[in-house]
Amino acid sequence: MGIHNNKPALVLLLLVLLGSAIRLNSAQDSTTLVPAIITFGDSASDVGNNDYIITLFKANYPPYGRDFVTHQPTGRFCNGKLVTDMTADALGFTTYPAAYLSPEASGKNLLIGTNFASAAAGYDDKTAILNHAIPLSKQMQYYKEYKTKLAKVAGSQKAESIIKDALYILSAGTADFLQNYYFNPYLNKISTPHQYSSYLVRIFTRFVKDLYGQGARRIGVTSLPPLGCLPAAKTMFGFHKSGCISKINRDAKQFNKKMNSTAIQLRKQLPGLKIVIFDVFQPMYDLVNSPSDHGFVVANQGCCGTGKGETTSLFCNPKLAGTCSNATEYVFWDGIHLSQAANQVLADTLIMQGIYLLG
């Protein structure tokens, strides 16, 4: 049975509450360390937006959500909580910001933020269009719409305070590479991985500048994971060899390096901006390559599926395949997404990395 320790997050929270000068937010009557969490991106943080659009990429059926609080599918691509949920827990939230397209994203619920993420979206709008997901540019349009709704609920002054002090989370890039670039013979003929990653970073830069112009000041961005270690990537591009695909991991590391240097430049250019690129690559790489160090047993296939490293969530379906009895033993839930237990390990690491955003 997997044994996983979430003490780092708890220790950090105590340190933040007792020893630092972080002020409790004044935008609303609560004890959360930020007034709201506003999320953009892909399936790593989608909490159900894809339930409301026509796309193949959905997680609104069992066994997704079987270990969530409600034991029901929620649209999250996981057996339970995502890293963003665990971040909200650590910051003192008792409920989670709703998927923007859901009926729950209305009225006073908007005060704690909302979630625009859409599974199979990327930095490149063409990736989302290809996968019938919500493009990042459309997510930004929804955000501007959200700001108008928030002002009606909270009043313009309070809304402005919430927008300024909120934590913004952005997770994207995986679908750009796995479901667009490597999969598209035309695209990888006309551009190298280096050129494509530079193109994505330019989109990221514009997005952050736009978000900053809209009032955002605290932005946490996840790096690319070790794409070559995902069971789906190994199935599609690994030719059934064991171990991670080093070339794909090198491309991911190159992208991450560009993101880090870009974040440094953005901090210099935009007064008052706090932006952190969360290193997802190394902790996930460690989980996959040394699973037993973290209490896991299986790291080469998902708990849910046929056991052959499925390419999409579509194979995590009881009609097509089986599901392991104990997901805490598995690093991956399906061919791409981490289990709740692995998400907890990752969340503990990222919360430590993100303390700068809370100051």
188: which 2 tokens? 């990888």
Q: Which candidate in 43, 45, 171, 313 is catalytic?
A: 43
Closest CA to 99 of 135, 46, 141, 162: 46
How far is it, in rounded angstroms, from Cα 121 to Cα 127?
Answer: 6
Residue found by looking up tokens 């199979």 in the block: 120
Compute how many other C-beta atoms are within 10 angstroms of the C-beta atom of residue 269. 12
Q: Which candidate in 89, 176, 251, 334 is catalytic?
A: 334
How far is it, in rounded angstroms, from Cα 310 to Cα 149?
Answer: 40
Compute how many other C-beta atoms are within 10 angstroms of the C-beta atom of residue 281. 20
Closest CA to 80 of 110, 355, 133, 89: 89
Q: Which candidate in 171, 294, 337, 339 is catalytic?
A: 337
Residue 337 annotated to the active site: yes
302: which 2 tokens? 């998902």
How far is it, in rounded angstroms, from Cα 49 to Cα 132?
Answer: 12
How far is it, in rounded angstroms, from Cα 100 to Cα 37?
Answer: 12
- Output b/e per residue, 124-145; b: 16+ Cβ within 10 A: bbebbebbebbbbebbbebbee
Q: Which long-range contacts (CB under 8 A, 24 or more apart) does 323-327 make?
A: 323/63, 323/66, 324/298, 326/1, 326/2, 327/66, 327/67, 327/79, 327/80, 327/303
Residue 334 annotated to the active site: yes
Query: How far, in whole angstroms, is CA 332 from its chain's centroid?
Result: 15
355: which 2 tokens? 């303390």
Residue found by looking up tokens 């667009």 in the block: 180
123: which 2 tokens? 């930095």
How far is it, in rounded angstroms, from Cα 116 to Cα 126?
Answer: 17
348: which 2 tokens? 């503990």
Catalytic machinery residues: 43, 334, 337
